[in-house]
Amino acid sequence: MIKGFEEFQKVGKDGFDAYVRSFGEMNKGFQAIAAEFTDYSKKAFEDSTKAFEQLAGCKSIEQAVEIQSQFAKKAYDGYMAEMTKIGEMYAGLAKDAYKPMEAAMAKKAA
């Protein structure tokens, strides 16, 4: 009976350890995503400021439309690239966070 209790206790400890490792991986992933969003936001703000400064110095409507068109295209392309990257980071986060749980389950099954 004591041996059964010790095995039960070991399984509980292994599960808890896997949970803690999984939580640590999630934390690292969320920090990386937050840093990426911060960097993107800074760059987008700088690009917007630069476009506004260019618009303020325009001498014609045509020039203003050209600057605005270039800015809109660059902003859209940058946003789509960033969202693709963030999506990949979330997918990687899910995989990395699941690995400790997967290893614990494999260990229990063996």
Tens digit of each residue's pLDDT (9 = 90 or more) over 22-68? 888 899 999 999 999 999 999 999 999 999 999 999 999 999 999 99
Q: String of b and e for 50-79 (b: at least 16 CB within 10 Å)?
A: ebeebeeeeeeeeeeeebeeebeeeeeeee
Instruction: Please give the structure tokens belonging to residue 55.
Output: 């618009």
Instruction: Please give the structure tokens belonging to residue 70.
Output: 């270039």
DSSP H or E run through 100: helix 61-109
pTM, rounded to two decimals: 0.75
Taking only the tens place, the pLDDT of each residue in 70-86 is 999 999 999 999 999 99
The domain limits of the chain are 2-109
Closest CA relative to residue 40, chosen from 48, 50, 51: 48
- Helix (H), strand (E) counts: the chain: 2, 0
